[in-house]
A = this chain, B = another copy of it.
Amino acid sequence: MPQELPRGSAASLSIAITGSGGSGAVTAGSILLAALGKAGFYGLMTRSAGPQIRGGESAAMVRFSPEPLYCMGDQFDLLIALDWRNFHRFLQEIPLGTASPVLYDPALGEVPEELRLQPRLERPWKRRAAAIAGGRLNLVALGTAGALLGLPCEALETGVQKVLGHKGEAVVDSAVACIRAGFSAENPNLARLPKPRPDPNRWLLSGNEAAALGSLRGGVRFVAAYPITPATEMLEWLAPKLEQLGGALLQAEDELASINMILGGSFGGMPSLTATSGPGLSLMMEGIGLAVASETPVLVADVMRVGPSTGIPTKSEQSDLHIALYGLHGDAPHLVLAPLDIGDCAFTFQWAVGLAEQLQTAAIVLSDQFLGQSRAILDPPPRCETPLTRLKQARERPCRRYLYTDTGVSPMPIPGESPCRYTADGLEHDERGVPSSLAEDHLAQLQKRRRKIEGFAYGEAWAEIQGAGPLCLISWGSSAGAVREAAQRLQAAGQPTRVILLRLLAPLRRESLKAALAGAEQLFVIEQNQTGQLFHYLHGAQVLPPHARSFARPGPLPLRPGEIVRAVRSEI
């Protein structure tokens, strides 16, 4: 049953804070986000940095609303410029509304040419900061902005405590003084949003954290990985948590090691995971194929960045769908999933761990830099309640590890726990695991491995379906947020719209998807890559009518609801 499409998107505000190296744009953004949470808003923060390894210019982009948010908006309603050095780098990333003011301190230089038509709000931050011991301009600016936005000063102070608390009392005191200095001189005179409903039960976390949490919920207790942007934070969050939970994280020498290490951990009975990004995923394909052939469950998180090759490590794109679906040599059925938003990372990862365990195969989960590194205020993410576990109990000795069963799933005894010993093998084998080059064994094992993946009852979670209009927007992964919001706008504008957001990409639930598509007259497949990877995949599976259209646009800029609405409108 498709849910109803939520009514027209709630009012929201988007703020960008920019500055050069050391100006503290991200700190200000983080405090603002925490303050917004305290004040009862939902919100989302992304960051962007220049090419320098560290200390280069950076920007924090914050969007908030009394209702949950899943993507960035079309444009920014306020620009807070902490200085103007290298500002041009962010021009493309920060489209301003024509009436959006620029808030800045004229003591720090001229407003750049490109902004000359924006309304200006000038404040003497530098001077005020100088008057405070340890005073910092970014915090004074934040105080000003908070006041203009109508936030209570206490909320900002709570934010300071959250973000800077670990730096000690002196820092916090000085920061609070700065906030107040910026705040006191203002009246709230920017567009104001409907009053939010504060709820202390809400969470503030990143997608990488949510993904890690979901994995732990799914039972993962062993992780081996090699650092890579933008997956590292997921691992960094996991390392101490695993230890507390009686698990372990092993930093591998490379990705070939990490994928094979988790095969070892999983063979030993522990649900196991690795996380990487495109280049690392490429290196893992052989190991993932071994997981498929030896039927050893593992979860591989690919936090996608701009490709191909080294690409743009710090920016988001959805261009690893093809390698995830098709990147294994031989006929190698496996699972591919993608979370639909930051909160959904928790659900999707938990479900993916369970599916991998249940089906004794590899699950590749496609998150991305946007989901992974953005932080959000959201309602606590729900758990996946379906119990999915590994079938361990075997009866026979010698063990028929690759027994032909109706489901295709065979018992997988655990070393040290069962006398039904066996040798797992990536060579083609018979039921007992003995290498075989006979056609009948190959065919039977191929069919078994396919049957278990394709025949499983995945339930309703394979996609989120909302609305029922003849206009149908199909998407996957992190584009889902912008697509959802675009659909709401189209619907609000009188265009009944349906959205189908795929969470389970392989195996494709063909029949369910066909049913969900019934009656759709105009179809758009929307994704953030150049070549329309999902579009071609769906055509390959013969589920799309010939008139379906592809709207595919590569990174590094995020998909925005407005551009989707425009693209759809121009075609219908």
Contact = CB atoms under 8 A, between A and B. Distances in A.
Contact of A310 (B317, B427, B440, B446): B427
Nearest to A440: B92
Contact of A282 (B286, B533, B537, B540): B286
Contacts of A279: 286, 289, 329
Interface residues of A, number: 68
Contacts of A546: 542
Interface string A326-354: 11111111000000000000000000000
Nearest to A535: B540
B278 A329 contact: yes
Interface stretch (A148-156, A178-186, A552-560): A552-560
A327 to B, nearest CB: 4
A442 B312 contact: yes
A423 interface: no
A307 B289 contact: yes
A450 B530 CA distance: 10
Indicate the member of A317, A427, A437 with the most B CB atoms within 10 Å. A437
Contacts of A256: 283
Contacts of A435: 51
Kindly report how many copies of this chain are found in the complex they form together.
2
Interface in A56-93: 89, 92
A237 B537 CA distance: 40
Contacts of A92: 438-440
Given A310-B426, A315-B437, A446-B554, 16 more contacts: A89-B438, A92-B440, A278-B330, A279-B289, A282-B327, A282-B328, A290-B309, A293-B310, A307-B330, A308-B330, A310-B427, A312-B427, A312-B428, A319-B331, A327-B328, A331-B533
Nearest to A49: B437
Nearest to A538: B540
A314 interface: yes
Contacts of A292: 308-309
B330 A327 contact: no
Interface string A524-553: 000001110100110111100010000000
A483 B420 CA distance: 46
Interface of A: 51, 89, 92, 256, 278-279, 281-283, 285-286, 289-290, 292-294, 306-315, 317, 319-320, 322-323, 325-333, 425-428, 435, 437-440, 442-443, 446, 450, 529-531, 533, 536-537, 539-542, 546, 554-557
Indicate the member of A308, A427, A437, A546 with the most B CB atoms within 10 Å. A308
A555 B330 CA distance: 10
Nearest to A277: B329
Contact of A311 (B278, B293, B313, B533): B293
Contacts of A536: 540-541
A20 to B, nearest CB: 16
Contacts of A530: 331, 446, 450
A61 to B, nearest CB: 15
Contacts of A315: 437
Contacts of A531: 331, 333, 450
B554 A323 contact: no
* Top 5 A-B pairs, shortest CB-CB distance: A307-B330, A308-B330, A540-B540, A293-B309, A278-B329
B281 A329 contact: yes
Contact of A556 (B286, B426, B442, B541): B442
Nearest to A546: B542
A330 B320 contact: yes
B282 A329 contact: yes
B323 A307 contact: no
Contacts of A286: 279, 282-283, 309
A325 B536 CA distance: 12
Contacts of A312: 427-428, 437, 442
A309 B283 CA distance: 14
A191 to B, nearest CB: 28
Contacts of A325: 326
A542 B542 contact: no
A320 B330 CA distance: 5
Contacts of A555: 439, 442
A320 B317 CA distance: 26
